Structure 1
Amino acid sequence: MSDQTTLGMALPGLKIDTIAVTSNLKGCEGVTEAFTIEIEGKVYAFITPETVDTQTIEKSVASSLDENIVRPAGYYAIAQMPLTPKGQIDEGELAARLKGYEKSTDDLLPPPKVHFQDNDSKLSSSASSVCSKGSPNNTSWQDQYLESQLPEKQLARPLRNLRYISMIIYRRIFAVIFIANLIPFCWLLYKGTNCTTLATAVSCNLLPSTLIRNDNVVNALFWLASWVPRSSPLWIRKNAAKVYHLGGIHSGCAVSATFWFGFLVVQASFDAFRPSLVDPTRKMISIPTLGVIYAIMLLLTIILTFAHPSVRRKIHNQFEQTHRFSGWTVLLLFWVLTFLIIVDFTGPAMSVTMVTMHTPGFWILIVITLSIASPWLHLRKVDVVPERLSDHAVRLHFDYRNNPVPGSFVRLSDRPLMEWHAFATIAVPDRSGFSVVVSRAGDWTSKYITNPPTRMWIRGIPTRGVMNVAHCFNSVVVVGTGSGIGPCLPVLLAAAKSGIKVRVLWSTPKPQETFGSEIVNGVISADPNAIIWDTRVKGKPDMVKLVWGLVQESQAEAVVIISNPALTKKVVYGMESRGVAAYGAIWDS
């Protein structure tokens, strides 16, 4: 090893990676906290407690750290890390102390135990290491999996594509619901029916389609899934963790309701020319009723068209607005239609009130209306404390409520009637409030990174999402790319308290510069051997191979990934097709 490397200076071919050094230090025996800073091309390591043997730590780092990374020029054992008012490690204070130690001044804290590397010392490759032997910070570990061949997928291509791509749980739920509706649909089409029966069938499908999107219902289902004991057989927990595919109920029932309504349109069109069974002086279906039916059918067709995945991906904002405003209009027209049909089928000697009380669709509409209205009853404009992390990201701090459940998200907007954006909540244990990380991904996010807001609209309550399923497992590999680490972080911070063993793979450009030391330190505190892959330095890795390596190294029960659609699908398919449970967003709404 060269003198320059020993002294913590970068030579050509070597790089300064304070994150990797910090992670390595935290994996060493006796170290409770560590932080590394770089000043004028030299790296300095601060560790706690002050009783730690810095010479042993130095030997451990030298033998286990990637040989292409610059070693610290000095190791400083201190009583505790200085913190900023926001709870982050104060790099400026550490730099000031470093200068004070070098000048041996008396006005600072007592000098810590300091060990400077000896230029003439030749560290043996067999030096005993107190760091984790399987540390993924060892480049050879990463290369082993990046250069190796993945094991063969378990099923033949047609079967595995059918199971893991074409017929994921979401689509299976959709298929079951649609077939369950198709059987009575065909029977009534053959036997004959009336408009009231068809209207009830439509309402019975719209009810679960609406309820399954209610924040409280979603939270309740995730809560039930998390209550499956982690001592249960893995196959039970693997299936319970698929709870986030519940969107299949929403789309399956919504499409079925539209088909039933199409049947109603045809039936009503014929009934508009038939005499009423309760009053021969008028038609079975009045012209106003028929007009409302046609209007609803038009709106349902528009909603389904914009909700198709290929259309939704291209014009998401238009999809969201169409879904909201057309949906509200359909709900209003359904109320009108319900009373019009009741009037059409009520004879002169019958009480409209009594017929209404005995109409199932009336009571179903009440529940649907309350379900749709409930999130808007929680609409509020709240104060925001922005923390600009970089030109790429901003962190927004909220204190209107305390510590949402790890793995939950909130919806934010500056125009509550036009667009909403979901962001994962970051709740720090034993600290009030929560925060979200907004990274640059379009015009809306760019606007708030450039000019961070001080007030924003929030709708509904924090709602559990896919990261929450990590609580179903005893050990899990958490994968994030870019700002995807935001949804992961609260689960990581709560993992130790929940008795969950986590391993972390975070791939992102310039993690320290982009997201700040608090987030990076949070990742490392959850997993001292976390792989934080700087894509600006190392390029984009083969994520499937790295994830597979982490699963094998940690013997994890499952993988949870937060990333873009393409990479999420690639990793989930790559794991599931090889027998590893994997979970990631499916962008079903």
Structure 2
Amino acid sequence: MSSELTPPRSAAPAYDDAEKGTTELPRPVQPTFLPDEKKDPFPNDEKKALAQITAIPIPEKKDTPPPKPAPKPKKKVSKWILWQLWFNTYRKLFTFVFSINMIGIGLAASGHFPYAVKYNGAMAVANFNFAILMRNEIFGRLLYLFVNTLFAKWTPLKFRLGCTSVLQHLGGIHSGCAVSGVGWLILKVVTVFRHRHIEHPSILVLGLLTNLAVFFTALAAMPWVRNTHHNVFERHHRFVGWIALFLTWGFTILNDLYDTNTQTWNLSGVHIVRQQDFWYVMGMTTFIVLPWICTREVPVDIELPSPKVAVVRFKRGMQQGLLGRISRSAVKEYHAFGIISEGTHAKYHYMICGVQGDFTRSLVNDPPKTLWTRELKFAGVSNTSTLYKRGIRICTGTGIGAALSTCIQSPYWYLIWIGSDQEKTFGPTISGLIHRYVEPERLLLWDSKQRGGRPDTIKILKEVYASWNAEVVFITSNYIGNSEMMQGCKEAGIPCFGTLWDF
């Protein structure tokens, strides 16, 4: 097994000229000049002397860029492959969690689940509790640390791939519990209104307001809203969510204090702390507050190698596979980016922010001196790279921000970066990190501008996967590129993990 852990001395298979897409242009013919045979009446006049020389006219030849290769016909992917990619671990976890809860709600509504009938409020906040826990940075980091420490390299490959898949798709539990919590809360409020003759009016009002706030919080997190209207998601999911938390506190405490049998208020604090829904709401609050305790305004240096990219430099080093959230304000519009660092010992870490929206455009047009960030970073799928003996990290464009640290900090990972004029676009800092820490035998940089277009990524992945003796491929690309590579890898039987858009 030790031989498998030694990086090979030779590079991955080279590509022939046709695959490189380069075309050598002929050198333009230099014009030749002949002297005029007529005598010059002004031999001493330099200007007239120049008139003796005439150029033989040669038609101008405009430089033309190398022709782009004709696009290959799109290969049809089997419906089974498409189904496997669509019904991924995220949707499997969501389906499992949601189905179990819907069965419980159905049994409770029909009176066949006495516990849930009596404690339907606790069922609601318990689901919200787990939903928030799945998105908590501290819990996520501990979970990744646990898996990476105990199961790295020695366990069966299928088990390690399963661990990575579950960790990457914890959002399925988050959304499954959140939607289920809305269902349980609706059942709770319906039950309260059915017994409104013995309930206090304040409980009815708070129950209705809590339901509306929670519903709009969940609606703002729908994938379409989150991916196409990020600022709308940020404002509504966060601020309406905080309102929903305060309303949940009020609804829970009033509901626990009011005795429907005697229709009186039991103001005993001991009575409140004995209720399970009180502790579930306390857990929700703790999981929400903890990450914000780590929020700081920190100094930054911003390098602008091109109008398309801002390279943001922060102090202190980081382990590989982490992402950070940054903002211009303390609580609004946080955006996540991959972190590039040489290691925990390093003096700096970097984020590559490609211009895509208002926030990233403002980093280029009006570079700030400070940014707000959470000092505790959250783990991404690359953090599980330590589970594998060898792997391939392929990315396009600004995806290098999420991929580079893995290849810098581990000699067993091969880097493939596809982009356009990368050194000019991303600047000397990023290029320097690549060439300083990633050896040529585990590096493939594809400049689509120089090579006449994008490569056949599946062909490259198959050849590098075989020559590098890799166990897994991590992909960071745009939606189309990610889909093509995931489909190709799945069809070739190559284990792979790509960028998520369904969280």
With the shorter chain as reference, the TM-score category is: 0.7 to 0.9
Q: Aligned match of 2:174 in 250, 261, 268? A: 250
Q: CA separation of 1:295/1:286 partners in 2, compared to 1, >3 Å: closer, same or farther? A: same
Equivalent residue, structure 1, for 2:232: 318
Q: What are the residue-to-residue correspondences of 1:261-410 with 2, within 5 Å?
A: 261-273=185-197, 283=198, 285-345=199-259, 347=262, 352-399=268-315, 402-410=316-324
Please state if 1:469 is matched with 2:384.
yes
- Normalised by the length of structure 2, the TM-score is 0.81
1:491 and 2:402 are equivalent in the alignment: no
**1:131 to 1:558, Cα distance in 2 relative to 1, 3 A:** closer
Aligned to 1:92: none
- Alpha carbons of structure 1 residues 247 and 547: separation in structure 2 relative to 1, 3 Å: same
Tell me the SS of whatever aligns to 1:386. Answer: strand
Gap regions ≥5 residues in structure 2: 1-7, 22-68
What does residue 421 of structure 2 align with?
510
- The equivalent position to 1:545 in structure 2, one of 453, 456, 459, is 459
1:528 and 2:440 are equivalent in the alignment: yes
2:234, 2:333 within 8 Å by CA — same for their partners in 1?
yes
Residue 176 of structure 1 aligns with which residue? 96
Query: Residue type of the partner of 1:162?
Result: W
Moved more, 329-338 or 181-190: 181-190
Distance 1:207 1:422, change over 3 A: same
Q: Which residue of 1 aligns with 2:124?
A: 202
State whether residues 153 and 389 of structure 2, in contact with CA within 8 Å, keep that contact through their aligned partners in structure 1.
yes
Distance 1:268 1:519, change over 3 A: same
Normalising by structure 1, what TM-score? Answer: 0.70
CA contact (8 A) 1:439 1:449 kept: no
User: Which deviates further from its counterpart, 292-301 or 542-551?
Assistant: 542-551
Shift of 1:451: 2.8
Which amino acid letter does the alignment assign opposite residue 157 of structure 1?
S
| TM-superposed deviation, 1:349 | 9.5
**CA-to-aligned-CA distance 1:264-300 (integer Å, 9 cap, x gap):** 1211110102xxxxxxxxx2x2111111111111122
In the alignment, the residues of structure 1 paired with residue 464 and residue 20 of structure 2 have an alpha-carbon distance, to the nearest angstrom, of: 9
Q: Is the 8 A contact 1:403 1:434 kept in 2?
A: yes
Gap change, CA 1:350 and 1:310, over 3 Å in 2: closer
1:232 alignment partner, one of 152, 155, 170: 155
Choose which of 445, 460, 485 in structure 1 pairs with 2:360. 445
Distance 2:125 2:88 in 1: 27
Q: Is the 8 A contact 1:215 1:460 kept in 2?
A: no
2:10 to 120, 132, 136: 132
Compared CA separation, residues 418 and 131, structure 1 to 2 (3 A): closer
Check whether the contact 1:136–1:142 (CA below 8 A) recurs between aligned residues.
no
- CA separation of 1:300 and 1:134: change in aligned 2, threshold 3 A: closer
Aligned-partner Cα distance in 2 for 1:160–1:513: 38
The gaps in structure 1 that reach 5 residues or longer are 1-129, 274-282
CA contact (8 A) 1:439 1:445 kept: yes
Matched residue pairs, number?
A: 437
1:420 counterpart residue number: 334
1:571 counterpart residue number: 485
Task: Look up the equivalent residue of 1:505 and give its one-letter code.
Answer: I
What do residues 180-200 of structure 1 show as CA deviations (whole Å, max 9, x unaligned)? 212222211111668751100
**Alpha-carbon distance between aligned partners in 2 of 1:533 and 1:133, rounded to the nearest angstrom:** 15
Q: 4+ residue runs of structure 1 moved beyond 6 angstroms?
A: 140-143
Cα distance, 1:351 vs structure 2: 5.8
Deviation digits for residues 8-41 of structure 1, max 9, x if unmatched? Answer: xxxxxxxxxxxxxxxxxxxxxxxxxxxxxxxxxx
Shift in Å, 1:131 = 8.4
User: 2:350 matched to 1:435?
Assistant: yes
- Deviations along 1:63-90, one digit per CA (max 9) or x if unpaired, are xxxxxxxxxxxxxxxxxxxxxxxxxxxx
Quickly say closer, same or farther: Cα 1:208–1:349, change in 2 above 3 A. closer
Q: Distance in 1 between matches of 2:193 and 2:226?
A: 32
- Give the Cα–Cα distance (whole angstroms) in 2 for the partners of residues 380 and 349 of structure 1: 43
Aligned to 1:216: 138
Q: Are the aligned partners of 1:395 and 1:435 in contact in 2 as well (CA < 8 Å)?
A: yes
Give the distance between the partners of 1:214 and 1:358, measured in 2 at CA.
26
Match of 2:109 in 1: 189
Aligned-pair distance for 1:520? 2.4
Q: Identity rate of aligned residues, in percent?
A: 25
Separation in 2, partners of 1:510, 1:422: 25
The letter for the 2-side match of 1:415 is: S
Q: 1:558: Cα distance to partner?
A: 0.7
- Please state how far the C-alpha of 1:343 moved relative to its aligned partner: 2.2
Q: Are 1:477 and 1:502, in contact at CA under 8 Å, matched by a contact in 2? A: yes
Is the aligned partner of 1:560 residue 2:474?
yes
Does residue 1:519 correspond to 2:430, yes or no?
yes
Match of 1:103 in 2: none
Contact 2:304 2:310 in 1 (8 A): yes
Cα distance change on mapping 1:360 and 1:391 into 2, 3 Å:
same
Equivalent-residue separation in structure 2 for 1:311 and 1:289 (angstroms) = 32
How far 1:344 sits from its partner (Å)? 2.0
> Displacement of 1:543 after TM fit?
2.5
Q: Helix, strand or coil: the match of 1:389?
A: strand
Q: Is the 8 A contact 1:136 1:531 kept in 2?
A: no
Deviation, structure 1 residue 223: 1.5
Please tell me the residue identity of whatever aligns with 2:128: L
* Counterparts of 1:351 and 1:305, CA distance in 2: 36
Check conservation: 2:392, 2:415, Cα contact below 8 A.
yes
Cα distance per residue 1:552-584 (max 9 Å; x no partner)? 332311110111123223312321233211112
Offset at 1:141? 7.4
Is the Cα contact below 8 Å between 1:382 and 1:456 reproduced in 2?
Answer: yes
- CA distance in structure 1 between the aligned counterparts of 2:422 and 2:323, rounded to whole angstroms: 22
Give the distance between the partners of 1:335 and 1:487, measured in 2 at CA: 39
Deviation at 1:354, TM superposition (A): 2.8
Asked if 1:163 is matched to 2:63, the reply is: no
Cα distance in 2, alignment partners of residues 382 and 133 from structure 1: 41
Using the TM superposition, give the Cα deviation of residue 369 of structure 1 relative to its aligned residue in structure 2, in angstroms.
0.6
Partner residue, 1:122: none
Counterpart-to-counterpart distance in 1, 2:395 and 2:12: 21
- 1:42-121 aligned at under 5 Å gives the runs none
Tell me if the contact between 1:388 and 1:395 (Cα under 8 Å) persists in the aligned partners.
Answer: yes
